[in-house]
Amino acid sequence: MCNRYQQAETDAAKRALKVLEAEVFNSAGSIIHPLGQGEIVRMLNGKRTLSQMTWGFPLILAAARKRAKEQGKQPKPKPVNNARSDKLSSPFWRRWTGLEYRCVIPVKRYAEAYGPIGKMYEAWVSNPGQEFFPVAGLWRPSDEWGNCYTMVMTDATGDAAEAHSRMPVILALDSIEAWLSSPMEAAVKLCGPWKDALKIDWTDDLWAP
């Protein structure tokens, strides 16, 4: 589960991910929370393009829809910012797994909460010696928030499992083309745990929603 991350430096991401085009957008903060504006790389008009979108797919739960109807209000969607790799064939996700909806999220480090409920702290996971790591993602247009994206997650192993049982799907640089251009049956095989060493910084900073 990833509910915040620090995005990579834009120029470093563009260089490493071989971005050919960049859409015009206002720079956001480097720490991205759900519903925040983050940078992703997708294929657009045949070129790897840097875009900025809202983090999280909109989802309106049946209970929220019913409650809003009873109150005479519009239902408020919640952001689904993580997509489990083993659920990508489900009805909710599979319509957004086509080639046109694949993307890569340049992540410098991501955070997990640790400690007792009510007094949890931030743990930051990074890839030692690397400027950032590319994370598999999906994007889609939405009526609620415009273009938005979600981060694909998988089971955590090794160092990452110390922070949480799940982790983002980290792609090797030579696997990015396959994620962006392969049929889903092949692309999903890239969605395994990262096997190389990761660094965890157990901070004393309180985890704030």
Each domain of the chain, given as residue ranges in start order, spans: 5-108+132-196
Query: Of 31 and 64, which is predicted with more confidence?
Result: 31
Reading phi first (left if > 0) and then psi (alpha if -120 to 50, else beta), residue 170 is in beta
pLDDT in tens, 13-59: 999 999 999 987 877 789 999 999 999 999 999 999 999 999 999 99
Q: Report the percent of the chain where pLDDT is more than 90.
A: 82
Q: Does domain 5-108+132-196 fall into CATH 3.20.20.140?
A: no
Q: Rounded CA gap, 194 and 134, in Å?
A: 11
- Helical H runs in the chain? 10-16, 62-70, 91-94, 176-181, 184-187
Main-chain phi, psi angles of 128, to 5 degrees: -60, 135
pLDDT in tens, 163-186: 999 999 999 999 999 999 999 999
The label of the residue with tokens 């620090």 reads: 6
Q: Which of 28-32, 65-69, 134-138, 186-190 has the lowest mean pLDDT?
A: 65-69
Q: In the chain, which ranges are E strands?
A: 5-7, 21-22, 31-32, 37-44, 47-55, 57-59, 78-80, 82-84, 102-114, 121-126, 133-140, 148-155, 166-168, 199-206
Inform me whether the pLDDT recorded for 209 exceeds 90.
Answer: no
What pLDDT is stored for residue 1 in this prediction? 72
State the average pLDDT for the chain. 92
